[in-house]
Structure 1
């Protein structure tokens, strides 16, 4: 089913869509050449914003936790992509150990784990679940909303390998983003493939590095298409030493917010855009929609209330926020039943396998939608991302729009590949 959307599909976005469709052979060749040089992350999800005047990724997740929100029709695509990924890494693989988040009582998240197990089982692997919870000492059944259950087992570590009782995997897949740090049990596994690598976790990863890499990718892609990279790239800056509780470092945040708003105003003037610009201040590490605030004027930061400070001071697993990324706010003009919506694209290896709209009836066009109260409507990616319809009027075809979302998602995934190469502790050289 293609969701009914009322979207501002005018001006630059229509021109961008037309240019992307006309350049499809060149775009696909360009991606092929990039993937000859770079290794895609094992799996990725990308939050995209369609402002009508620009289309840009605003967040890239290397431990996606929403596979349950994809349609059953996407399974063949996902299984094929999983097979391709595993064949590249460990062709002789028989066993896959999947390590989920510790808070595994959440029914929706467990359905995501169930879907991942289904994908890799259908790809020809024996899949079992291991827990990073040291308090788990025996196999434990976790009930699923559909009446089934998942069995979570304690990890068994030997000097050089990690597995379960009577289960020795070739590959270990993390669906835990390591926000709380890297557990000892995952260190020093030189005989097995650990995916994603440890430096992809939020203990090491920073959004600033990702968007630096994305800026590089966007410039290359824009040069290929002969367009302004700003149309697909959110401007950003950062502040490195911030304490939300005692207020230190807030002068940096105010100065950078002011400077970034000025840059956005100049771009708006260049394109005749009448939108009031805004920025989004985010924790430079972390996910789950935590540590995020929208700012329209630097003066607003003088009056940040205690509740907002508390919200900004820590992210998942109680990790303190000392670094922030200040990102150009990209409003979303996608609608579903009068609620604000944004597309999220899911990929395994280098392939788009599905996606959904994140919908939030209580949020505005300039607010974070990854918050309690959001709902999810699957995108019909299985039939459409690789099958655009050239020649149709821009904005008239859902498949063409989904193809464009897939291109932006793949650009962000390529940026993640650049980012992981640059931060690889085992690499011989750094960029």
Structure 2
């Protein structure tokens, strides 16, 4: 299924698509050279917003939990990418320990875990599931909607290694974003590969660091294509000491919202965009669409009601919000059956392996779609996005549009690798 784009607004994006397709050899070479210098995250997913006048990533997840939303046709790509990733990290790998989220009763999430097991088994690994849930003391069977089952087992930690009873893995793959903090059981594993590394978890990671890195990547890429980086880069600011419950730090928030809205207005004027700008205020750490609000005027922040304050105060695993990122709002003009939609691109290693549309019938073009009521429509990969048609009319060919999404997704993934290098506590520093 291909989304419907409101055509009056598609001009600049069609030009961007055209430019990306014409520059395909240069783009692929540029990525190749970047990957010689930087290590891609093991896997990632990127939420994109297509405003017609701008296409930008708005979130990059390093513990993607929606592999079940990819179609069967996408699986061979995912298996090949996994093989390439494992070969690079631990060529002799035989056993893979997969550690999922603690909330193991969510059937949608478990179907994602099942899909990951399927991918890594097909890549030639013995895969077993270990849980950080300390209440699980013995192998526990979990039922899935299709009648199949998964077994999670308690972790067994020795001085230098982590495994399960009678299972010693070379590699440990986290599908748990560590919002609740860094578990002691995962620390000090010097003999095994832990992927992604601990500092990729939300206990340490900050969105503002990611978008700082993305700005750098977008500038390099825009220079390659001779274009304005703003067309692919959401501007942002951050506030470090905010307490929504007590109303503390709201002056920092207001002044930053005001300044960012003014910047966006200037850009809209430059491009003749008639929209009313907005910003998204969200927790600087964390995911699951929690702790997010749309702000159209800084004055709105003086009169936040109790419900909004409560919503903004706490994110996943009951973590309190004290740091926020203020991000340029990118409206989405994609529609599926009249419902607002946004593309999500999935990657393993440096390869795009598929994606889907997040669709929400009850949300507006300027709102967060990652919320209860969202549904998922797989991207139409009947024609592979790896094989765009450079001579097709812009906007007319699904593989061309998906190739463009894949390019922007890979830019965000490259930014994540810059970010992880910059925040690596074990990195050698030279004076």
Give TM-score scaled by structure 2 length: 0.99
Residue 164 of structure 1: aligned partner: 164
1:112 counterpart residue number: 112
How far apart, in 1, do the equivalents of 2:156 and 2:303 lie? 51
In structure 2, the partner of 1:312 is 312
Contact between 2:2 and 2:398, CA under 8 Å: does it hold in 1?
Answer: no
Question: Are 1:196 and 2:196 an aligned pair?
Answer: yes
Query: Counterpart of 2:105 in 1: which secondary structure?
Result: coil
SS at match of 1:99: strand
Please report how far the alpha carbon of residue 3 of structure 1 lies from its aligned counterpart in structure 2 after TM superposition.
3.2
Q: Deviations over 1:284-315 (max 9, x none)?
A: 00000000000000000011000100010111
1: CA distance, partners of 2:33 / 2:382? 24
The match for 2:427 is 427
Paired residue for 2:81? Answer: 81
How many residue pairs align between the two structures?
430
Partner of 1:359: 359
How far residue 7 of structure 1 moved from its aligned partner, in angstroms, is: 3.8
Using the alignment, how far apart are the partners of 2:159 and 2:393 within structure 1?
61
Q: Does 1:350 align with 2:350?
A: yes
Task: Compute the displacement of 1:383 (Å).
Answer: 3.6
1:404 and 2:404 matched: yes
- 1:112-131 equivalence runs, <5 A: 112-131=112-131
Matched, 1:183 2:183: yes
> Residue 324 of structure 1 aligns with which residue?
324
State the shift of 1:429 in Å. Answer: 1.9
CA distance 1:430–1:329, change in 2 (3 Å): farther
Residues 295-306 of structure 1: matches in 2 within 5 Å?
Answer: 295-306=295-306
Kindly state the Cα deviation for residue 5 of structure 1 after the two structures are TM-superposed. 2.4
Corresponding residue of 2:14? 14
Preserved CA contact (<8 Å) 1:74 1:382: no
Tell whether 2:241 aligns with 1:241.
Answer: yes
Contact 2:3 2:334 in 1 (8 A): no
Which residue does the alignment assign to 1:3?
2
- Aligned twin of 1:53: 53
Shift of 1:385: 1.9
d(CA) in 2 for partners of 1:282, 1:276 = 20
C-alpha distance in 2, partners of 1:72/1:24? 27
Q: Distance in 1 between matches of 2:141 and 2:277?
A: 49
Runs of 4+ in 1 over 6 A off after TM superposition: none
- 8 Å CA contact 1:353–1:381 kept in 2: the answer is no
Work out the CA distance in 2 between the residues paired with 1:38 and 1:144.
38
TM-score, normalised on structure 1? 0.99
Q: CA contact under 8 A between 1:354 and 1:380: conserved in structure 2?
A: no
Q: Which deviations, in whole Å up to 9, do the C-alpha atoms of 1:304-353 show, x marking residues without a partner?
A: 00010001011100111100000000000000000000000000000000
CA distance in 2, matches of 1:425, 1:352: 28
In the other structure, the counterpart of 1:277 is 277
* Secondary structure class of the residue paired with 1:427: coil
RMSD: 1.0
Contact 1:100 1:174 in 2 (8 A): yes
Say whether the 8 Å CA contact 2:41–2:349 is kept in structure 1: yes
State the SS of the aligned residue for 2:408: helix
Unaligned 5+ residue runs, structure 1? none
1:99 aligns with 2:104: no
- Is structure 2 residue 51 aligned with structure 1 residue 35? no
Which runs of no fewer than 5 residues in structure 2 stay unpaired? none
